[in-house]
Structure 1
Amino acid sequence: MQHFDVIIIGAGPSGSTAGAMLARAGKNVLCIEKQHFPRFSIGESLLPHCMEFLAEAGLESALQQQAGELGFQYKNGAAFLKQGMYTDFDFTKKFGAGPSTTFQVKRAGFDKLLADEAEKQGLQIRYGISLIALDNSDDALTKLTVQDEQQNTSQLSASFVLDASGFGRVLPRLLDLELPSNFPIREANFCHIKHGITSPTFDCNKILITVHDQHDDIWFWLIPFSDGTASFGVVGKTERFDSKLSHEENLWQQLQQTPKLAELLGNAKPVNEARNITGYSASVKQLYGKNYALLGNAGEFLDPVFSSGVTIALRSASTAVPLVIRQLNGEQPDWEQEFSAPLRKGIKTFRFFVEAWYDSRFQDVIFSTKRNDGVTAMISAILAGYAWDDSNPYVAETARRMNVLREICIEFS
């Protein structure tokens, strides 16, 4: 039985980042990944806060160097469109410290880039390997049963296990940690397109989020890449879509009901088959346990509307790794107070903004013409991923501040 200091499940952004950090600290780390890279994934619009964690793991310079050849698009903000009303948030004018720009990335290339760079730093990755059973009854080590693509099984052991399996949610399933999300069941229909946009006013440096003309709870994402393609998708409750139609037909039908966006994408053509994810929001009973911790989407996923998924994933890796190292060195970290509680604090901030988006409170603020520069800078910081910054009043007192602001926006609209 091969033994490792740490075994990581999943080689996506949180797994590669955690693996690189642990390898740089001299730990013997193995990452097992069910799929083979490159592989398609969504979550393509990074937030600037991500760049801090990539730099910490020694991965940012490779991203900067290879962004152009991989078709990644420089990103400096977020734009919103609703019934012809356009507004945007410039992250370079955000409140607080930290990077203010990032990239919109094709995840196939981005995830492979991070994994390859993590391997260069000492992380071992085995592709085509699935975890099928886990035994953590022993206090000192965890036994893992893994299976390859020919159905051959083998045994591994680790002093600590990090679950970075994303929507696969491997440990939550094996250890009965899953909890239903309190969000309504929504679905996303999406594909990559050759966008064909000719409008001189279109800002390719920002993700464009468009509200459906007839239903405020349906929205579209448009994430341009530097090679003339884009990620395009629509999100709404399942009952908003026609189950008799294909994913592609549902996507284009919703687009035609939103004329301004349809006009912008008048020349758009799909470059791959439309896909669907339904019931993606998820939660867990706990984010850690005996000799394990959950990273990113394996722990909790809210909603794609503000592109928080990769940020939470990288933040969770950055928070967990120093605790793992301390535990491997014989200390006893307080995983509740040092990992779960602080991580959930930022998730709670994002959660409020997601809820306020769908009940239109945040939409009222976004599309108000009465926002002052100071408030706009504070909201920009949260949209840039800085949901843990208590010096920002909209993080420290999220609900009270937002509800008051919304009332002001409505009163003077």
Structure 2
Amino acid sequence: MKIEKTEILIIGAGPAGSVAAALLRQQGRQVLILEREQFPRFSIGESLLPQSMEYIEAAGLLQDVVEAGFQYKNGAAFVRGERSTEFDFRDKFSPGWGTTYQVQRADFDHVLAKGAERMGAEVRYRHEVLAAMPGEVPQVTVRSPEGEEYIIQADFMLDASGFGRLLPRLLKLESPSNFPVRGAIFTHVRDHIPADAGFDRNKILITTHPEHVDVWYWTIPFSNGCCSLGVVAEPAFLERYRGGEMERLQAIVGEDPNLTRLLKNAEWGVLPVRQITGYSANVKSLWGPGYALLGNAGEFLDPVFSSGVTIAFKSAQLASACLQRKYAGETVDWERDFAIPLRDGVQTFRRFVEAWYQGGFQKIIFHPDPQPDIRAMICSILAGYAWDKRNPYVAETERRLRVLEQLCAG
């Protein structure tokens, strides 16, 4: 069997893999990306957070993204029944980007992958990793589109395989998530939302079900007149509805008066309606001998605050910094320098996600008389700045959020 060698092997050409590749190419590293699918391809997770722009810019991919024509995004709107509130991400506590984009992931991921190629990374589409062996010289067995198998040996492997979670599956690293199992039913529609409907296309709309605090909808407008539309709930709720996926999603959307009004002229069938269940995931370790896990390959929380791509980019940035030090001859402690700082921010997001489903965070955001400084701190986390320890709600997430929930519930 043919054996090839590379410095850095990246499994997956999604956001984590492409940004890691671009950052590593800036260091002069030889980078090979293996991608099982052919781009462009559909993926969920279409609303970015402003923090992600910092990593796109650092990777040298900002112009690629800006010129792609995606929908501008400056915040998030929340609605439950007659109550509504908006967060403008430019009015946040943390310094840095306050705007970003809402993207069709098929196009966005392809833009990033082509940007990584422009910077000198090699991307092989439709090459599937069949087996992996970690160690001092990690290697994988790969099958080409023509069916030929070959081996690649690398100095280091980065698994950016997303929900495919390749190395966690092959190396038995998967660990149960402590989140309840939830599912999502979603699609794209041509929305035809009237200009006078009070809908801000520059913001993602998060709608809580009028009767169930732990059921919510996303409405993410795109620049082409379509929007991504989905509902998230525990499987028992979704299974109450009969028919195919489209009929079930239409029935659940029809239970919210505001969404029914906004989408009364919507054209369905732009994309097939899809359903995923049990997407929250965890692993025993984010790294091992000769490899590290990036983005969703390591851990995925929940889509409610659109944190997935930001976490993916953060993992790529931390891993590339560790590899820069490794090639400079320094000793790298992957737990201290990669896993712990990555999970610090993930834990902040995790606590906010838990508070959302328990209803406490919804009491906070819909409070009729919020304090501007606290609102700016909350806004920073919603904008993705979950690693900014200067923010008290990052430095002391658990205590601060618990106290705030109690105050807003009084």
Fold conserved between structures, TM > 0.5? yes
From 127, 135, 144, give the equivalent of 2:133.
135
Give the corresponding residue for 2:340: 341
The Cα of 1:244 is off from its aligned counterpart by 4.3
Mapped to 2, the partners of 1:237 and 1:150 lie a distance apart of 41
Q: Following superposition of structure 1 onto structure 2, how do residues 320-331 of structure 1 map, counting pairs within 5 Å? A: 320-331=319-330
Give SS of 1:269's match. coil
Mapped to 1, the partners of 2:219 and 2:92 lie a distance apart of 22
Q: Following superposition of structure 1 onto structure 2, how do residues 15-164 of structure 1 map, counting pairs within 5 Å? A: 15-67=17-69, 72-137=70-135, 139=136, 141-164=137-160
Normalised to the residue count of structure 1, the TM-score between the two structures is: 0.96
Give the corresponding residue for 2:200: 203
CA displacement 1:323-347 (0-9 Å, x = unmatched):
1122234332011111000100000
Bigger shift: residues 47-56 or 196-205: 196-205
Give the corresponding residue for 1:353: 352
Mapped to 1, the partners of 2:104 and 2:168 lie a distance apart of 28
AA of the residue aligned to 1:146: V
Give the corresponding residue for 2:178: 182
Instruction: Supply the RMSD in Å over aligned alpha carbons.
Output: 1.1
Mapped to 2, the partners of 1:373 and 1:104 lie a distance apart of 26
CA displacement 1:257-310 (0-9 Å, x = unmatched):
111211111111221110111100000000000010000000000000000000
AA of the residue aligned to 1:40: F
Mapped to 1, the partners of 2:95 and 2:284 lie a distance apart of 33
Count how many residue pairs are aligned between Structure 1 and Structure 2: 405
CA displacement 1:380-406 (0-9 Å, x = unmatched):
100000001111111111121112112
Q: Check whether the contact 1:214–1:257 (CA below 8 A) recurs between aligned residues.
A: no
The Cα of 1:151 is off from its aligned counterpart by 2.9
Give SS of 2:67's match. helix
Q: Following superposition of structure 1 onto structure 2, how do residues 235-314 of structure 1 map, counting pairs within 5 Å? A: 235-242=232-239, 244-270=242-268, 271-314=270-313
Q: Check whether the contact 2:242–2:248 (CA below 8 A) recurs between aligned residues.
A: no
Q: Which stretches of structure 1, 4 residues or longer, exceed 6 Å deviation after superposition?
A: none
Give SS of 1:257's match. coil
Mapped to 2, the partners of 1:329 and 1:96 lie a distance apart of 32
Q: Following superposition of structure 1 onto structure 2, how do residues 7-22 of structure 1 map, counting pairs within 5 Å? A: 7-22=9-24
Mapped to 2, the partners of 1:356 and 1:146 lie a distance apart of 43
Give the corresponding residue for 2:393: 394
AA of the residue aligned to 1:390: K
Mapped to 1, the partners of 2:12 and 2:378 lie a distance apart of 33
The Cα of 1:249 is off from its aligned counterpart by 1.6
Q: Is there any run of 5+ residues in structure 2 with no aligned partner, and where? A: none
CA displacement 1:7-63 (0-9 Å, x = unmatched):
000000010000111112111110000001100111110000000000110001111
Q: Check whether the contact 1:195–1:265 (CA below 8 A) recurs between aligned residues.
A: yes
AA of the residue aligned to 1:330: G
Normalised to the residue count of structure 2, the TM-score between the two structures is: 0.97
Bigger shift: residues 340-349 or 324-333: 324-333
1:173 paired with 2:169, answer yes
Q: Is there any run of 5+ residues in structure 1 with no aligned partner, and where? A: none
Bigger shift: residues 330-339 or 344-353: 330-339
Q: Check whether the contact 1:188–1:276 (CA below 8 A) recurs between aligned residues.
A: yes
Mapped to 2, the partners of 1:173 and 1:282 lie a distance apart of 12
Give the corresponding residue for 2:225: 228
AA of the residue aligned to 1:348: Q
Mapped to 1, the partners of 2:161 and 2:146 lie a distance apart of 21
Give SS of 2:98's match. coil
Report the identity percentage. Answer: 51
